[in-house]
Chains A and B, each alone.
Chain A
């Protein structure tokens, strides 16, 4: 079996890198790497099982919009239009300080950087934080 792409473990801060094998669009297995300076060929129980939630049937597969208490599927265009419009309206009416942004300790550096850039440059708000404090 091909070991698969080199991926950083999504769980703790140790930062083990492992091979993630994919077959027919499904993540099927994990192989640790001997030469990785932290992992050194071993992983903890969470790392070994990290592929198991990727194809879980409960994954969200479509943008959802809630209106009058009812949740319905929406296209990406409709959902993104709505997000931008409502956030802009609030900014216009109450200023950027009426908006808050929670970034994430689980997404990449690039995504954190862009999210913070969006909060500050697009919406004029410094109310951006993530749950490292927690």
Chain B
């Protein structure tokens, strides 16, 4: 988010999913797409079959898509910046860059050239483990295909260097001119169904809806007028991780959590529990008794997606209407009614008749959503923002003719090693992720029997080579330990994992990998480094 916004002026996915049908090549990095975004993966495979599109995958594991790819760059965990700088080195050396695009649409190219010079193929190979020949082939495929779409997900952002990783991807796309046209772009795939919408609506510490900054006087005046209040704060607030930390030290005394389960999803799960226990007053609004709700002073039962009406914004910025399929279960209340009830009782009157009326207010105060009205959404499969007025068709791809910020900004980054690297005491690299049949903390998916059967419990995936060295077999119990905690769990041998790396998931609260992970934050985006920490594995 933060990285793309700095380079282009907008942090959202630049292009749309249907455009994939016309792409000549795909570059997928840090996304286990077949598992996490199955229909995006299916579309890539279809384009390969029907249109002979090419595929480059960069991932430390031999993931599903990697097996189908023309080229698989199996780089070491946490070496994305070096890998991408290495690709750009090749591109510049061979003259495959898009000179016209660089001249007309971008700025700061010279400093990119300086930095990228320092990543010749041999040096890149030493850092990443990817041999120079393969790197060069990947660079050629990406640069020379007419229309290349780049996709990434949490594998790129969940590092202390996450913002650097994203900026480096943006550099690569600008260098080759694969941005600002149909079937190109830099496309972050969002993990949850309304991550994009939550950001768009200003559920962020520093912006109102439509990324209007709280530090901007005109913006503050506008919202004070629209909301009929005075004294809105101009000071950006704290992020999730900072709020939890402050809760632990007594700075945050009241916490209201809607539909989230930080006791499982946050790094250093035990520290989170300690923080939640310390909060003077904790409200949790959810549909199930989550691990987080167990610490709450008040629990408010909300409704599921089937019982409500409202809009969701998918990963391609497509705002869609979801209709109520059934009445709320007895005893449960719509989230918006709960919020109105609390705000009104707190002395700030909120009276709305329907979600439609709320969307009307969003249209009024949010320029990028102005033309996305309820009435229009009733008749189309969504509208992509920005959509400045009711006659506007929406914007399936961004940065056409000019970047949102004007010129695209090259911000070259140097490779930095991960915050915690394996050593003698903790010789393995633990990386975490999701599996296809489960979703996030499992609050919903673990209630579905078929999905529970597909992926019934936590396992530690290790390479067969490491298994031999540790003298363990499929299903053997091992003790997994990091500087922050330990777990016991069975191993699963997976030949697709490189030696020295182990992989675990965080869907299963009783065996939570986040007890071990590390809370080193990316300094800009403040995303915890889930993707790597050092651990030891012991046969029990």
Contacts and interface: CB of A to CB of B under 8 A. Distances in A.
Nearest to B158: A134
B17 A37 contact: yes
Contacts of B266: 134
B373 interface: no
A14 B204 contact: no
B136 interface: no
B191 interface: yes
Interface in B192-230: 192-206, 208-209, 214, 223, 227, 229
A54 B304 contact: yes
Contacts of B471: none
B315 A14 contact: yes
B123 to A, nearest CB: 32
Interface stretch (B60-68, B92-100, B174-182, B521-529): B521-529
A96 B214 CA distance: 15
Contacts of B258: 101-104, 107, 111, 115
A98 B345 contact: no
A98 B1 CA distance: 27
Contacts of B421: none
B445 to A, nearest CB: 7
Nearest to B289: A60
Contact of A10 (B240, B253, B300, B444): B444
Decide if the interface of chain A is mainly helix, strand, loop or mixed.
mixed
Interface in A13-43: 13-17, 20-22, 25-27, 35-39, 42-43
Interface size class of B (residues with CB under 8 A): 35 or more
Contacts of B194: 104-109, 112
A13 B339 contact: no
A59 B362 contact: no
B341 A66 contact: no
B79 interface: no
A122 B342 CA distance: 9
Nearest to A84: B345
Contacts of B330: 61
A7 B301 contact: no
A1 interface: no
Contacts of A10: 193, 304-305, 444
Interface stretch (B31-39, B101-109, B462-470): B31-39
A25 to B, nearest CB: 6
A133 B241 contact: yes
A118 B436 CA distance: 35
B252 interface: yes
A33 B319 CA distance: 17
Interface in A71-114: 71, 74, 76, 79-88, 90-91, 94, 96-114
18 contacts: A6-B321, A11-B445, A13-B315, A14-B17, A45-B38, A60-B302, A87-B281, A97-B237, A99-B253, A101-B255, A109-B201, A109-B362, A110-B358, A115-B335, A116-B201, A122-B347, A126-B237, A130-B260
